[in-house]
Structure 1
Amino acid sequence: MNFRTYFHVALIFFVFVSIATVLCRTTFQVSEYNKCPPQDSKFLTLVARSVEQCVEECMRRKSCEVVGYNRLLQLCKLHARTLSPAFVENNYILIRRGDIRGPECNCPEWSVCNAENGTCVIKECLPLPPLHNGTVYGNTNHFGATKLVDCTTGFFEISNANLKPIKCSLSGNWSFITHCQECPVPGEVFKFPLSTSHEGFQIYTEKKTQQSASDMCTAQSANLIRIKSWWQIQYIRSISTTCIDTTDTEKIKFWTDGKEDNDGNWTYSNGENVPLDEIFWNKNGAVGTCLRLMYKLHGIQCDSKMHFICERD
């Protein structure tokens, strides 16, 4: 055997041993055939993975409790702990954590062990807390993953009135946490979740001029709502688009407190300035001197009639 032949044989042997070593780091046995873990526990989907690679990915994550693997599509699904039962699904195998043997990950839950240097890295967001009175669509938690929220009829989504999807950011945090709140009954006092300095608000669907609406609020020891924070606009917008028939645009227009004086300054009746940041205001120019809210603030003619919102300080 000449040197070149010996070298080739040694190289092939080295590659074979290296591959065998990698594959033998983790061993497993199939827990159930033709069974798939429940969808509500899935947090990561990987494509074009062998079953060995899929099991390795599970072992790198302390949060992984069950592997669901589609042998036909080479589709790897990692699942967290759940009380929901597995269901019958052809071409799937189910492998529980207890049936896997290999190096354990010492990283905190919802972080991933780096196989090369043993460090812990964040690659997924934590599962969202359970959503009551609504449904979350989307069951992956990797960076860039998105979820949509659909509240049950009679409830509105209070964290994202623009109806944008929830997104998993590179920091390992969701763009926002949401929940569904019951729609307020017109005339009934309700509170916004982030409000700490107000007793409550009341939406009135009868139409009045701004002055008549203000007089009605005053008679109830209240005042027309004063928009001071962006979250107020978000909640009112969410209520308008979810709890009110939006086919009639008049139903989502509300009088607020606030007028423009002769010097062009917008102030509330208590002397405070109306916020003028772009996020509060409609880009189109004002057509009147009284303040109205329809998605954003806008100046219109004071003798217009529309719904209004009273605020109890």
Structure 2
Amino acid sequence: MSEFKGKMEDHFEFGGIANRRRGLQLLAIFISFSSTIATTGFRTSELQFSTKYNVTVPTAFFTQISLEKCWEECTARVACRAFNYYNLYKLCELDILGNLTDVSTSEPFEENGVVYWAKQELLATIPCGSKTCSLGQRCDKDTGACEIKECGPLNVSDDIVVLGNVNKIGSWIRLGCKDDYVPSFTSVECDVGGHWTRHDLTCKRCEADWILFHTSCYRLFPEEVIYEAATSKCELVGAKLVSITSSDEYDFLQRKFSPRDRFWIGANDKEKEGLWKWETNETWSYEHFLENEPNGCTTENCLIMCITNQLTGWADVNCYRNQTYVCKKVA
């Protein structure tokens, strides 16, 4: 214990006289921790990780352990930079390569005190008996063995959302895409070697002036052209004249474009009257015609979508009519 005190002496800072406002903040912190603990049924000094949303660098914590043990757990890990110790609750909060707040530099919490300690030097390895432990390993000082207990930070691109941050061995984390990106989900595991499994999640978003819906991008072009010209102009921008194959997609277009819009959609019955086909060759499994439409017989073989204050729907019109158009492409 004397060795421990000597090593820690220059780094400890304790809270002084109770301050009501800071005391309430500490209570809120503790409630947050105890809520997580209650959820997991965690009541021992086993290592736990917070599960805050979208945190790539985890904060680990122990409960019901001593200050000395907290220090040992941090110094036994290459990945631990610092810790906070809440004396009243015997709560140890480890900073795993993150940016943990130095509470000792703030106003005092309570007379029971809070301890902040940080490593003076961050090493790539730490000595452990006759061995050296590396990132993701914990040194068992009693046996001189390096144990793999957790994975380090999860490195992902800026467009990926990390859904949780539990990084002990065997834990899984779901990954998704941020807003305005193609929604996609995958999972990664912290394997027995202390490494995250590889993922193939790639998040994409639409170009400027295009609107994302599910996995496609849409754009309304205000230029009025005939049907064939609209199909050609969509192809020039790597797209197709819009197909609408579900009620969700129909509702999306209705919401996104203002009333009194009329635009070409990519369907026609030129080959056989009444047999409508999408320019994309998708199966014709959904339709949303206005009442009494289609009604043009052989003179009206192309479709427009009408959006008014009173009603919306599709109508067949002459293919040589000039209309605005909507293009659609994969994000």
Scaled by the length of structure 2, what TM-score is found? 0.44
Scaled by the length of structure 1, what TM-score is found? 0.46
